[in-house]
A and B are shown apart, each in its own frame.
Chain A
């Protein structure tokens, strides 16, 4: 991984949106059943 991308994955501000995205995807699959 390029070194300039590395800090992204230790940044809490990255993981908050990722967590919300995963929950959103789960909701979407649930409402689409």
Chain B
């Protein structure tokens, strides 16, 4: 479809629906990713926990794109815009340092303080979106108010939820360290959206972007583990904890599905709307914690605070979702995209077509793709074989129900994405 055909307006509306659905599915999957990690109370260092999660992430990021579009589509994207590989590796490095910082922050100040601090990343995302990519420019006052007000409401709701659902005491001298770690994670994650948006304005498919993103993740995480813990200590920790590797890697895998939807949301509704929507992951994390693991059955938990926090967060998310992207704002995005294309010498027609989610040919799978999928599956089967059954009590009825809802969201968002963009 030509990006300049008369039905451009209806195409933009369809892409907005794709972006919003992707943001909602992202929240559910990013929230579900916390569940496997809850199954293991580890004595592992934060760096090693993060390293094992990144292994799962790495396998998922190579096998899922191979399965959905094939590595030939990834190769075609790279040939059109090779500079984006640098951006993807940079984004992966930002993610891995932020992820390790959050593990430190939770350990030092508890989730109640750490989560709202790093959740502020959505505000930073809005700032970068407006400053560098023309987001919210051309938007009406009401649309701006809905995005910014909704995001602030979500931060307030997140704070209330975190206060209600955790009750860790802050350990004196570690407090400042934990707060700085959480703020650092927020700044890194908020800034990570610059490379995201950059890639999508230039037309790259999210599936191609994450394939290189994960190279940055794995490299950066490997360097961190070796520099901070050393090779021997890391190997010893991993050998002693082999029974829980599967659960951490599974968490990483589920996280990737959520992150892929987050990437599509960033592409089709921009980072100022996509990121706040996917930050509803805290609501889903709370549902898993409450219904499956019975975390709120303690007497000192304020149910009122949980309900009020959830309602404020949901209202905030709805406000952001309803702040539709107008044609003027879409035109500003297109200007930013054309600026990128000229700067990096990328074919302007290709950029325009990819911006509205179209591609010249349907994806084809080859033997490399099936090999990647087979290797990932084999690794997961192997670590599952040596995994220890979790000792934590779970309500299996809720596990089944939440899994059904989460998978239903995957199918709904995935189907709309496929029909509208063929995963471009």
* Contact (Cβ within 8 A) A18 B228: no
Residues from chain B with a CB closer than 8 A to the CB of A4 are 82-83, 344-345
Interface centre among A5, A23, A25, A30 (most CB of B within 10 A): A25
A interface majority secondary structure: helix
Q: B412 in the interface, Cβ–Cβ < 8 Å?
A: no
Distance, CA A5 to CA B90, complexed state (A): 14
Q: How far is the CB of B161 from chain A (nearest CB, A)?
A: 25
Contacting residue for A14 out of B47, B87, B178, B228, CB 8 A? B87
* Contact (Cβ within 8 A) B101 A13: no
* Contact (Cβ within 8 A) A21 B344: no
Residues from chain A with a CB closer than 8 A to the CB of B104 are 28, 31-32
B interface majority secondary structure: helix
Q: B146 in the interface, Cβ–Cβ < 8 Å?
A: no
Distance, CA A15 to CA B46, complexed state (A): 28
How many chain B residues touch A (Cβ–Cβ < 8 Å)? Answer: 37
Q: B205 in the interface, Cβ–Cβ < 8 Å?
A: no
| Binary contact readout B84-119 vs A (1 if CB under 8 angstroms, 0 otherwise) | 001100110110011011001000100000000000
Contacting residue for B343 out of A11, A17, A32, CB 8 A? A11
Residues from chain A with a CB closer than 8 A to the CB of B181 are 27-28, 31
Distance, CA A18 to CA B86, complexed state (A): 11
Q: B188 in the interface, Cβ–Cβ < 8 Å?
A: yes
Q: Which residues of B contact A (CB under 8 A)?
A: 46-47, 82-83, 86-87, 90-91, 93-94, 97-98, 100-101, 104, 108, 128, 132, 177-178, 180-181, 184-185, 187-188, 191-192, 194-195, 198, 224, 227-228, 343-345
Q: Which residues of A contact B (CB under 8 A)?
A: 2, 4-5, 7-8, 11, 13-14, 16-18, 20-21, 23-25, 27-32
